[in-house]
A and B are shown apart, each in its own frame.
Chain A
C-alpha cells in the first residue's frame, strides 16, 4: 500500500506510523463522563470509508489525515492534519 502525503506525494506504507480514527472529537475537560468514555474507548469502526491519522515518520514527519476504504484500501483523499482540525468545544463556566 502507498499513502499520498500532501507534501511528499505517494510514499510506501513503511514510512508511516498510524494514528487511528481522525473523526473523534476530544470533549471539554469537564464534559460528562459518558462523553469521555465514548471518546476514549468507543469507535464507529466502519467497514468502508474511514478518515484516519497517519504520521509520515520516515519522511517529512508531518501528521496527515487520509481517507481510506477499510475493505478495499482504496484511498480517496489526504490532507495536512492541521487543515482538518475542528475547533474544540468551548469549556463551560463550571470550575472544578
Chain B
C-alpha cells in the first residue's frame, strides 16, 4: 500500500492518476473467519481496524450489504463533540475525542478533523443554569467547557439574531475542542487502514441470517452464501433490530428517519458549529462553503432513507429565525438516514445474550463523533468477550437493572440524542 505523504502527492500530481493504486482490495469471502463484523460503516470498519491494531486479530471480515460508508456514516452532518453530562456517555465520547485528535496520523489518511468548537445556545435563565451544570460536570470529567454570556456569543457569531428574536440569546456553552470531520474520509481511512492489516472488506454482501448451534453463533447466511464465524459483531445502525431478530432477540430501539441539508457554497460565514437551544437546528459550514444543517427526526418509525417535507420546512424555519441573513441562500440537496434510536438516548455496546454475538448500536443522532472510540471499545469487547470499563455502563442489561443513561431525564422515548 502506498504511504500517503507530500511526496506521494507530488508524484501523483506529476504522473497522473496511474500513480495511485486502489486504497483497499476487493477480496472473495473465505469459508470462515475468527470474527465477522456486519456493516461497513465507520463503526464496523473502526472495530475491524482496532481488532487488528490493538488485539492482533486479523482473520476478520467486514460484510456490507451496499457500499462501504453508504449508510449513516456517509449521510451525517459530521459534528464531533464530547459535551455530555452523564459519566457513562462522557467517558466514551471523550475517549473518542482523544482518538480523533490523532486519527489522521494514526490512519495515514486526512480525515479533515477540524476543532472549530461546538457552541450550544441558551435562550432562558433556566437553560443557562442547565448549561452551567453540564459544563461543570464536563470539567469534572476533564473535558473542556466554557460558559459564554450573550456578549461572548456575539463576539463569536456576530450575525446571529440579537435584535428581535422570538427566543432571545442569553449565552451559550462552548466546547472549544469540538468541531467537524470529513465523514467519507473517516470510512475510507478506516477501510484502507484495516485492509492493509489483512482484514477482508466484502461489499455487496447482505447478511440474511445468523446460524447458531445451541446458544453459540457459528456464522452468517449472506447473499453470497454461508460464512462461518466464531464471533459476530453487529454494527448496522438503523438495521440493528433486524439483525437482532435474526438471532431471535428484540432490542430497546426504534428506527427513525433523520434528514440532513446542504446549501449552495458561500464565502466563509460560520466558523464554528452552532446549535439552537429553543428549537431543533444545528449548522456548520463545510470546507467547500456549503452550510450543512439539520434538525428534528421525521417523527415516526421509518426505514425509508428519505425524508418528508414537513420537517424540511420546520428545520429551515428554525434556522432562519436564528440566522435571518441566510434567507436568500438556496438549498442544494437533502437526504435521510435510518437512525437507531435507543430508548434512553444512549448507545448500546456490549454482549448479547447469545454466545459470540455482540452489538454496537443505538447511536441516535450522535454516532459519528463516537466512531473511533466506539470501534476501539467494541474491538476490546469482542476480543476479550467482555466489555472495557468505558463501555460497561453501555450494556443492554441496563434497561433491566434500571441503570439507564437518560441524558435528558425525559423517560423512555426513542427520540433523544
Contacts and interface: CB of A to CB of B under 8 A. Distances in A.
B and A form one assembly: yes
Given A70-B302, A70-B303, A43 B310 contact: no
B250 A44 contact: yes
A42 B310 contact: no
A50 B399 contact: no
B242 A41 contact: no
B195 interface: no
Interface string A61-84: 000000010111100000000000
Contacts of B412: 40-41
Contact of B301 (A13, A34, A70): A70
A68 to B, nearest CB: 8
Main SS of chain B's interface residues?
mixed
Interface in A1-56: 1, 13-14, 18, 20-21, 33-34, 37-38, 40-47, 50, 52
A18 B414 CA distance: 12
B86 interface: no
Given A70-B302, A70-B303, A45 B308 contact: no
Given A13-B310, A18-B299, A37-B399, A45 B304 contact: no
B254 interface: yes
Contacts of A68: 300
Nearest to A3: B300
A70 B343 CA distance: 19
Interface residues of A, number: 25
Contacts of A41: 252, 343, 399, 412
Contact of A52 (B251, B301, B399): B301
Contacts of B308: 1, 13
If over half of A's interface residues share one DSSP class (helix, strand or loop), that class is named, otherwise mixed; here it is mixed
B309 to A, nearest CB: 8
A70 B255 contact: yes
B383 interface: no
B59 to A, nearest CB: 31
A73 B300 CA distance: 10
Interface string B395-415: 000011000000000001010
Interface in B367-417: 399-400, 412, 414
B208 to A, nearest CB: 13
B255 A45 contact: yes
Given A1-B308, A13-B310, A42 B302 contact: no
A18 B413 CA distance: 12
Contact of A14 (B250, B300, B310): B310
Contacts of B300: 18, 52, 68
Task: Indicate the member of A20, A42, A52 with the most B CB atoms within 10 Å.
Answer: A42
Contacts of A73: 302, 304
Interface string B318-348: 0000000000000000000000000100000
B301 A45 contact: yes
Contact of B303 (A18, A38, A47): A47
Given A13-B310, A43-B252, A47-B255, A72 B304 contact: yes
A34 B141 CA distance: 34
Contact of A37 (B239, B299, B400): B400
Nearest to A50: B301
A13 B314 CA distance: 13
Contacts of B304: 70-73
A14 B285 CA distance: 30
B284 interface: no
B250 A43 contact: yes
Nearest to B300: A18
A13 B239 CA distance: 25
B97 interface: no
A76 to B, nearest CB: 15
B58 to A, nearest CB: 33
Given A37-B399, A40-B412, A42-B251, 10 more contacts: A18-B300, A21-B301, A41-B343, A43-B250, A43-B252, A44-B245, A45-B250, A47-B239, A71-B303, A73-B302
Pairs of residues from A and B, 3 with the lowest C-beta to C-beta distance, nearest first:
A45-B241, A41-B252, A47-B303
13 contacts: A18-B300, A42-B252, A43-B252, A43-B343, A44-B241, A44-B245, A45-B301, A47-B255, A47-B303, A52-B301, A68-B300, A70-B255, A71-B303
